Amino acid sequence: MTFTRRSRHLAIVALYGLFLLGEVASARPPGQRWGLCDGSLVPPPLGDPDVRNAPSTPLNIEAGRASYDADRSEYTLLGRPVITRADQRLKADRMHYNAQTGRVDAAGDAYYQQYGAIVTGARGHFNLQTNAGVFHKLRYRIEQGHIHGDASRGEIENPELSHYLDARFSTCEPGREDWWLHTGSLTIDEARQRGVARNAWLSFWGVPVAYTPYISFPIGDERKTGFLMPTIGNTTRGGFQAGIPWYWNIAPNYDATLTPTLYSKRGLQLGTELRYLLPAASGRSQFDYLPRDMAYGKDRWLLDLEHQLHVGRHLQARLDVNRVSDDQYLSDFGTNLQQTSNVAIPSRIDAALSFPNWILSAQAQTWQAIAPNSSARNKPYSTLPRIHFSYSPSLGGLPLRFRLETEAVRFVQPEAGALDTGSRFDVMPNLSLPFRTLGYYIEPAIAYRYTTYRLDRPDPTLPESPSRGLPIYSVDSGLFLERNIELFGNALTQTLEPRLYYLYVARRNQDDLPVFDTTQATFTFYQLFATNRFTGPDRMGDANQLTAALTSRVLSDTSGFEYLRFSIGQNFYFSNREVTLPGTTEHSAYSSDYITELRTGLPGLMNASLDYRWNPGGTNNRRLISRLQILAGSGHVLNLAYRLQEDDGQKRLSEVDGSFLLTVGANWRVVGGWNYSFLNQQTQERFAGLEFNSCCYAVRGLLREFQANPKGATAQLQTGFLLQFEFKGLGAVGNAIPTFLRQAIPGFRPTP
């Protein structure tokens, strides 16, 4: 990855702007530490700092030669004297100690140590009564924040507050300082975990890169108000991008981030994010606004709200709102490297009241269509509201199990009169008689599903209050067989679990019923044992079928870890299935396609899965989903996947993707990914990134090329690039790159 002279110049300009603003923030969650250098800067403490001035704390003096002036109560100490008290130690070539005032004047290679700090200088004085002192031509080390440096003069005002003139400091290892902050004056306040520098400039590898008349920065792990490190990038649609977030630590459980971002092709965008955490609630609110987009000609904005409420153990609620100003927003502002292929954006509010035997939930959901030129038929229904009630009472000593599921929904379409709208009420009681032992089980069940509607329909020939009621009968049964085996010296158990499931659903003509939220369910191994081949109650599939399946597992006898699971199953039909969705047909067949599942893994090393659907009878239906993840410790990840789908011989999907994380040495990490569609014969997405992360600074870069509309036929790839800096101890870095990589590379973990 190469950088042009212009990109280097822009990076320096962005850093220069950051330092002019002067407040550097720490926005880490409480308790999360920077990955600072691990080597201790100071020796272990000599004693307890809380007893420094206690009357019973002894003061020890060692010297090669000593004299005492009784008139002035002053000792003259020579021969490299040492004064020790509690956690304090003072050394020099010679000292004068006034026992009455507590002042010690030290000359010649002066050394002072206290809990968490060391100061060495040519000369200085220190008062043992006030714990304050002054040193000249000094070097200092402070354990909190891993800070060290030098100065022409240093003043210890108290054990937690010190001031320095003509100073510099770094958080790198002593002798390996890749960056320095040079200052006219520097204040380190360990009690407030804050440092303040004036007339400061930053050098990186000996090259000055930024200047500021004032800068405040965090020390330690506490969050702090101020500016975060900048994010620099470039995209095809937005042009050059530079953003400098400002973090506001409002309270221990409230914070906000304001991010002005300049796009060379569009203008200045202001991003805002507010977060809070309460005992019964938490959430975040994001609003991004760009006035008068230079390329689009209108104001652009994004609203994203996520809030959760937990009242006791029984009441929970969630609000999730997503809105954009126009259908091109996500494509134009994919500068945070997020996916931009959504066709509709949901917003919803949920609430649930739960108790041991019943759950009552309510939901309202709306959609904003962002697919260009989408018609009303392609826009999802809004549910205003959806109310669901589930009841599973305890029947005492009876062996029966009873469950009741009810749902009431009102469906709304944004374009009135285009499609059916109205209300749907669905109720399904279920009664079963389970009989289980360690070796086998059998569970007959009976259910009844009743669905009724109150509709507004554009077609006057269709009924406004259709309904449907039908019984559902099923019998589920299985065996549990196992044997002990040994492999590579490990004691294992292999199981053999055959299963038979019979389902009968009466046939009813349902052509008069609307289709609000119901589709054909994906035919998976789980679907072999479902009572309905459709995803919603608008259609209840007729059935007279038997499912035969077999599962075998290999488990560890000691840990219970499942090394292998293989399943295969098939439906056998005793009558043709006739209930369909509009525009679809059911093929007459005596049996379904075969469904297989394979799961395998080794703890911490590898996991793989394969789902395959096929029919040897020549129906030309195939679906393959395969995944492989290889892990080599926490620093290496390799992911491979291939997906294929054919319906009636027509290929619907054929794509491969891979991603990796590779740690090189102690500091370098390389990431990459690629998604290719064989169906469209084009790359859907590819990205590559590089990170250097030492204990005192980090640089991250990521280049991504992606299809703005992966379902389209265009081969035009958009380009996005982000560059981030972090000087540890001077502030935190934005999270755009780690956020994308967590989504794009399963198993990715950001470095501290």
pLDDT of the residue at 727: 84
- Which residue matches tokens 């100690």? 97
pLDDT value, residue 646: 87
The C-alpha atoms of residue 557 and residue 304 are separated, in whole angstroms, by 48
Residues 6+ apart with CB under 8 A from 731: 24, 25, 26, 217, 218, 226, 227, 228, 229
Contact 672, 661 (CB under 8 A): no
pLDDT of residue 32: 38
**Which tokens belong to 39?**
């080597």
Average pLDDT value over all residues in the chain: 87
What are the tens digits of pLDDT across the range 429-449? Answer: 999 999 999 999 999 999 999
Q: What is the pTM of this model?
A: 0.78
Range of lowest pLDDT (213-217, 252-256, 360-364, 436-440) = 213-217
Residue 507 CA to its chain's centroid (Å)? 47
The beta strands (E) that lie in 205-299 are given as 207-218, 226-227, 231-235, 239-243, 246-251, 254-263, 267-277, 281-290
Beta pairing, strands 490-505 & 481-487: antiparallel
**Per-residue pLDDT for 115 more than 50?**
yes
Instruction: Please say whether the beta carbons of 448 and 470 come within 8 A.
Output: yes
Tell whether the model's pLDDT for residue 548 goes beyond 80. Answer: yes
Predicted local confidence at residue 242, as pLDDT: 86
408-434 pLDDT tens trace: 999 998 777 788 999 999 999 999 999
CA distance 301 to 269: 9
pLDDT per residue over 695-721, tens digit each? 888 888 999 888 765 454 455 788 888
DSSP-derived 3-state class of residue 375: coil
Banded pLDDT at 337 (limits 50, 70, 90): very low
When pLDDT is averaged across residues 504-519 and rounded to a whole number, the result is: 94
Q: Are 191 and 160 in contact (CB under 8 A)?
A: yes
Of the two residues 734 and 181, the one the predictor is more confident about is: 181
pLDDT of residue 7: 37
Rounded-to-integer distance, Cα 718 and Cα 165, Å:
51
pLDDT of residue 720: 83
Q: Tell whether the model's pLDDT for residue 576 goes beyond 60.
A: yes
Q: What are the structure tokens assigned to 314, written together?
A: 């029984």
Pick from 146, 188, 187: nearest CA to 35: 146
Convert the pLDDT of each residue in 450-489 to its tens digit: 999 999 999 999 999 999 999 999 999 999 999 999 888 8
Is residue 182 predicted with pLDDT exceeding 90?
yes
pLDDT over 90 percentage in the chain? 58
Q: What DSSP state is assigned to residue 41?
A: S
- 292 pLDDT above the threshold of 80: yes
Q: What pairs with residue 196 in β-bridges?
A: 187, 216
Please check whether residue 223 is in contact with residue 28, taking contact to mean a CB–CB distance below 8 angstroms.
yes
Please tell me the predicted confidence (pLDDT) of residue 339: 46
Contacts of 509 (CB under 8 A, 6+ apart): none
Residue 724: DSSP 8-state: E
Q: Does residue 13 surpass a pLDDT of 60?
A: no
Q: Supply the pLDDT for residue 586.
A: 81
Give Cα 655 distance to the centre of its chain: 26
pLDDT at 191 over 70: yes
Residue 23: its pLDDT value, please?
A: 53
Q: Is it the case that residue 10 has pLDDT exceeding 50?
A: no
Per-residue pLDDT reduced to its tens digit, 244-267:
888 888 988 999 999 999 999 999
CA distances from 121 to 93, 151, 614, 685 (A): 12, 9, 80, 58
87 near 48, Cβ under 8 Å? yes
pLDDT tens, residue by residue, 192-209: 888 899 999 999 888 998
Q: Which pLDDT score is estimated for 16?
A: 41
Extract the tokens encoding 175: 């002798």
Residue at token pair 């959901």: 365
The answer to whether the bond into 738 is cis (omega within 30° of 0) is no
CB crowding 554-593: b at 16 or more within 10 Å, else e: bbeeeeeeebebebbbbbebeeebebeeeeeebeeeeebb
pLDDT at 283: 95
d(CA 365, CA 386): 8
Q: How does residue 24 score in pLDDT terms, banded at 50, 70 and 90?
A: low
- 3 state SS of 647: strand
Tokens of 207: 């090259």
What's the pLDDT at 236?
A: 80
The count of residues in the chain is 752
CB 413 within 8 A of CB 421: yes
- Rounded CA separation 195/181 (Å): 12
Residue 227 predicted with pLDDT over 80: no
Residue 571, C-beta contacts closer than 8 angstroms, at least 6 positions apart: 528, 545, 546, 547, 591, 592
Question: Does pLDDT of 735 surpass 70?
Answer: no
Residue scoring higher pLDDT (736 or 179): 179
pLDDT of residue 506: 93
What is the H or E stretch that residue 390 is in?
A: strand 382-391
What pLDDT score was predicted for residue 731? 61
Instruction: Give the range among 220-224, 287-291, 628-632, 713-717 with minimum mean pLDDT.
Output: 713-717
pLDDT score at 18:
42
675-679 contacts at long range (C-beta below 8 A, 24 or more positions apart): 677/710, 678/654, 679/651, 679/652, 679/653, 679/654, 679/655
Q: 702 in helix, strand or coil?
A: strand
Mean predicted confidence (pLDDT) in 168-176? 90
Q: What is the pLDDT of residue 734?
A: 55
